Amino acid sequence: MCGWADRRCRRGGGERGDGGETLIEILLAVTILSLVGVGAFAGLATTMGVSAEQRPATTAEATLRSAAERLQDPETDYVDCAGPTSYLPELPPLERGYGLATSVAYWAAGPMPAADTQAYTPEFVTTCSGSDAGLQLITVTLTDPSGDAQRLDVVKRRP
């Protein structure tokens, strides 16, 4: 082993231990760890960006589903010849920046086709003829802060 006065040890030419790292090894380790850290940060930033981008659509969808559930709830009264704002008080509160509109169409009660012919498709009209047949098509349209609109149709019948 080298002593404190041995010249060979001071010049680096004597015995070498196994515990030391060279400058190159340390720089390589720091570089690899830095690249891994930058990659992880970039992935996190991308995830946060996508999440923020999808939030309005997710909020709109959840609000529309909640509105449909409230409209179909038996506790929500059926309104004969309902206007576009008749069911608005029944709908869930909105987050800031969102807009909600409803329209109501009424079933045009007509004769049912014979059983051996084509399937029956009910017709809905936008004006109430004075006597509501007891079936309404309520269209709920929700607009998010970016201006994108989502629409949901709910059929409500008189109990």
Does 128 map to a domain?
Answer: yes
Lowest-confidence region among 46-55, 112-121, 126-135: 112-121
Residue 123 lies in domain: 23-157
Does 125 map to a domain?
Answer: yes
**In this predicted model, what pLDDT tens digit does every residue of 15-55 receive, in sequence order?**
555 566 788 888 999 999 999 999 999 999 999 988 888 88
Does 7 map to a domain?
Answer: no
Q: How many CB atoms lie within 10 A of CB 53?
A: 10
Give the pTM.
Answer: 0.62
Does 12 map to a domain?
Answer: no
Domain count, the chain: 1
**Which residues lie closer than 8 Å to 135 by C-beta, 6 or more apart?**
106, 107, 109, 122, 155, 156, 157, 158
